[in-house]
Amino acid sequence: MKAFSNLLSDLILTSSRNRKLALLEQYFSSTPDPDRGYALAALTGSLNFKNIKASFFKDLIKEKQDEHLFDLSYDYVGDLAETISLLWDQEKSGNMPRLSYLFENLKKAKTDELKNYIINILNISTGDQRWAFIKLFTGGLRIGVSSRLVKQALANYGNVDLDEIEKIWHGLHFPYINLFLWLENKGSKPKISIYDIFHPMMLAHPLVMEKDLVTANPKDFVAEYKWDGIRVQIVSHGEGCRLYSRTGDEVSNSFPEIIKTIQGNFVLDGELLAGINNDPKTFNDLQQRLNKKAPSEKFIKKNPCFIKVYDVLFFNGDDLRDKTLIERKKVLNSYFSTNRSPMFLSETIDFKDWRFLDKIRDISNKQIHEGVMIKLVSSPYIAGRPRGKWFKWKRNPKNVDAIIMYAQRGHGKRSSFYSDYTFGVFNKEKELVPIGKAYSGFSDEELNKLDKFVRTKTINRFGPVREVEKTLVVEIAFDEMSLSNRHKSGIALRFPRFKRIRWDKPTNEVETLEQIRKSFLE
């Protein structure tokens, strides 16, 4: 544990990418199996331990520390593991056991022993070790190291291509013994069955018209609608079909009727949407399904779903990822020449120039698409977000003015700033009601000013939340407005973010809730 906690402490305080890589490589080369496998899982967010969650540690510390003082401390530090590690008093000097030993013991411990075992461990270890240990259970290390960076360090360590690691990553098994053997030239490259795993998806960059389209020739691109559902990967072979979300989480269980129907040997890429017969409904309709982990038959009948397919990675055993998009589309076209319901081919949009597309992306047809996708026809399917290949060109956001009402500190990097804001508008009764929350869209400099505003204009405190003077108007950009009976205002905004801060604008010039509803919902 000492080596691992040193690694985390060093990583969080290192800003240079190269130094981070060096630290990781150094750790992988000097740490034995299976401990480095545990560390690798922790660093890439795949180390799970079901019985212990963040709340477990919260309860522990509240037995030792006054609850209110804990809340104030947590509010200040903004990181649960760090707050608890700082509040905990070391009783004896010592070290935590090595990672693998620690986890074996945790696994073996009975539920009633677990608590005492952990208390004892925390009592004898240093602050850094407590911090690193608790971080393993609180979800997300937040030390400024992405999974991709860790994989890059592995690639450097084994002198292989990052892409080689990405391609087999989801088929590797904890604690990664085979992987390290291969990287150290002591074993062959781990063999992965393409139908057993999720394959990292190709992602798009937001389109910047002035930069991306000026020199681009429309003939080199295809355009499609950007469907407003969830991205899924369909992995199907003789023994069945699985659905994965964009991040590689399996979501098959939520859609039993779909995986039951799909047959064939392929890996497809598409969008899951609510609706029936290739006729999509809104994201809100899909939301109903996403909330249910194991839907009943009746529920499924009421809320049917289907998939619009726009790409193919493998087909009948062939890896098509290195083929061009045009060639992949040909495979799809021929496959979809017969009815494959509940899968349908995602249609392409005929266009001659960019201006035409620009118009299309703003035409909202019951909000079922959120703009267009533009894809380079000559591009292979590349995992990650390669430059210059795929672009998303979202509909222009809508804007609304609102008044800042409450603020809360951010977490992690922003823990010292009031960076999460609730804003609202006046209703008929001249009462200010919240219509949303935003955390982004401002520059660091603006955040400084906002933070200062909150600190000097606080009129009330509710735990970590500060109520502020209702004097500051902000222009909020958002993608969609929908009706919602969960909110007092009766409306919900999709992806609200700051557009401008209107330091000068008086609050009585802000449109009322009724006016807003009229202009966006009718």
Partner 1 sequence: MISIDNKLYIKDIDTYIDPFFPVERAIITHGHADHARAGHKHVLCTPETSEIMKIRYGENCASSFQTIKYGHSVKIGKISVTLYPAGHILGSAQVLLETPKDRIVVTGDYKTILDRHLDPFEVVPCDLLITEATFGLPIFKFNKPEMEIERLLDNISKHRENTFLIGAYSLGKAQRIIWLLREAGFSDDIFVHGSMDKLCDFYQSKGIRLGTLRKATLDNKKDFKGKIIVAPPSALKDRWSRRFENITRCYASGWMQVKQRAKQSQIEIPLVISDHSDWNELTNTIKQTGAQKVWITHGREDALKYWCEKIGIQAEPLSLQHRDERNEL
Query: Interface with partner 1 by CB under 8 A: which residues?
Result: 9, 12-15, 65-66, 68-69, 72-73, 76-79, 82-83, 86-87, 89, 131, 144, 412-413, 415-416, 455
Tell me the one-letter amino acid at 401.
D
Closest separation between CB of residue 68 and partner 1, Å? 6
Residue 221 or 417: the one with the smaller Cβ distance to partner 1 is 417
Q: How far is the CB of 406 from partner 1 (least distance, A)?
A: 18
Torsion-angle region of residue 168: left (phi > 0), alpha (psi -120 to 50) or beta?
Answer: alpha
Q: Is the dihedral of CA 136, 139, 145, 151 positive or negative?
A: positive
- Round to whole Å and give the CA distance between 44 and 480: 33
Query: What are 115's two structure tokens?
Result: 């608590």
Q: Which is nearer to partner 1, 56 or 70 (CB)?
A: 70
Of 191, 319, 213, nearest to 267 by C-alpha is 319
Distance CA 242, CA 194 (A): 12
Q: Which residue has the tokens 């809320």?
A: 303
Closest approach of Cβ 379 to partner 1, in Å? Answer: 37
d(CA 142, CA 80): 11
The least CB distance from residue 89 to partner 1, in Å, is 8
Q: How far is the CB of 18 from partner 1 (least distance, A)?
A: 13
Residue 475, strand partner residues: 401, 500
Alpha-carbon distance 235 to 244, whole Å? 8
**Among residues 13 and 208, whose Cβ is nearest to partner 1?**
13
Name which of 454 and 493 has its Cβ closer to partner 1: 454
Q: Sheet containing 369-376: which strands, arranged edge to edge?
A: 205-206, 390-394, 369-376, 221-227, 348-349
Task: Decide: 487 and 435 in contact? Cβ < 8 Å.
Answer: yes
Closest CB to partner 1 among residues 134, 343 = 134
CA nearest to 436, candidates 423, 419, 454, 418: 423
In the complex, what is the shortest distance from the CB of residue 76 to partner 1, in angstroms, rounded to a whole number?
6
CA 408, CA 387: separation in Å to the nearest integer? 36
Q: DSSP of 203-256, one letter per residue?
A: --EEP-IIIIISS--GGGEEEEEEESSEEEEEEEETTEEEEE-TTS-B-GGG-H
Q: Which is nearer to partner 1, 60 or 216 (CB)?
A: 60
Closest CA to 417 of 386, 442, 434, 392: 442
Question: Closer CB to partner 1, residue 375 or residue 466?
Answer: 466
CB of 419 to partner 1, least distance (A): 12
The nearer residue to partner 1, 82 or 269, going by C-beta atoms, is: 82
Instruction: Name residue 494's amino acid.
Output: R
| Of 135 and 308, CB closest to partner 1 | 135
- Is 421 within 8 Å of 407 (Cβ atoms)? yes
Residue 405 CB, nearest distance to partner 1 (Å)?
21
Q: What is d(CA 379, CA 48) in angstroms, rounded to the nearest whole number? A: 36
68 vs 186, which CB is nearer to partner 1? 68
CB of residue 509 to partner 1, shortest distance in Å: 31
Pairing of strands 343-345, 305-315: parallel
Cis peptide leading into residue 97 (ω within 30°):
no
CB of 403 to partner 1, least distance (A): 24
Rounded to the nearest whole angstrom, what is the least distance from the CB of residue 444 to partner 1 in the complex?
11
> What is the smallest separation between the CB atom of 81 and partner 1, expressed in angstroms?
10
Nearer to partner 1, 75 or 285 (CB): 75
Q: Which is nearer to partner 1, 15 or 159 (CB)?
A: 15
Give the SS3 label for residue 175: coil
The candidate with the shortest Cα–Cα distance to 99, out of 73, 138, 133, is 133
Report how far residue 305's alpha carbon sits from residue 272's, in angstroms, rounded to the nearest whole number.
Answer: 7
CA-based nearest residue to 195, from 315, 340, 341: 315
